[in-house]
Amino acid sequence: GAGVSQSPSNKVTEKGKDVELRCDPISGHTALYWYRQSLGQGLEFLIYFQGNSAPDKSGLPSDRFSAERTGGSVSTLTIQRTQQEDSAVYLCASRVGGSAPYEQYFGPGTRLTVT
Amino acid sequence: DAKTTQPNSMESNEEEPVHLPCNHSTISGTDYIHWYRQLPSQGPEYVIHGLTSNVNNRMASLAIAEDRKSSTLILHRATLRDAAVYYCILSGSGNTPLVFGKGTRLSVIA
């Protein structure tokens, strides 16, 4: 079946511009996560959504970052007034909801370059 | 989340078994041990997870120490396609986000 998809795969933007990154999770997965991976670094949690609950935004690095998830499916991560330090690969993951230790399925990521 | 310690890098010959160690001395009784790997230019992918007993699946085996303070991911016959960064992660049940460390970069030599 279809996995997690993300678009665009690559995005180059000028410093100060806003960008939107999209994630299409696996159908039926109620939990959705955003992570980012800077060059040579590990993955850093940003935000996650679980069903209709309020999202956990504890990993967002600044108020320039926001995300929404419409209709419990597609999610958009928005970065306003991009800075060069925002350059990274942004990864989305989804999983079946619930308390069992189900695995997360990751998309291929969006590589963001801020010039 | 409890912390894990892994070697920065390991090397293996193709078609040889590989044992990737992970120390997690502060693991709590409800923490599951998860392994993910990240191939070059791809998102992470799930490998295996366990709680107390050893686990096997089509990709790998997970051997968990009796005191649960360490575990070993076993690839029975390494292939060139297994070259990746392997992450050992502790996570309680539920939807909590994964906390990735630096992982172990596995190189496979033909």
pLDDT reported for residue A67: 97
Per the CB < 8 A criterion, the answer to whether B27 and B4 are in contact is: no
Confidence of residue B11 (pLDDT cuts 50, 70, 90): very high
pLDDT reported for residue A102: 83
Higher pLDDT, A52 or B52: B52
Residue ranges, chain A, pLDDT below 50: none
Question: Averaged over B33-56, what is the pLDDT?
Answer: 95
Q: Does B34 reach chain A within 8 Å, measured CB to CB?
A: yes
Nearest CA in chain A to B87: A42
Nearest CA distance, B60 vs chain A (angstrom) = 15
Answer yes or no: do B91 and A50 touch at CB < 8 A: no
Answer yes or no: do B97 and A109 touch at CB < 8 A: no
pLDDT reported for residue A40: 73
- CA angle in degrees (0–180, nearest 5) for B23-A99-A59: 65
Q: Which of A48-52, B15-19, B52-56 has the lowest mean pLDDT?
A: A48-52
Task: Report the alpha-carbon distance of residue A36 to residue B14 in Å, rounded.
Answer: 32
The 3-state DSSP class for residue B1 equals coil
Task: Report the alpha-carbon distance of residue B95 to residue A94 in Å, rounded.
Answer: 10
Answer yes or no: do B97 and A95 touch at CB < 8 A: no
pLDDT reported for residue B71: 98
Average pLDDT score, chain A: 93
Residue B2 has pLDDT above 90, yes or no: no
pLDDT reported for residue B96: 85
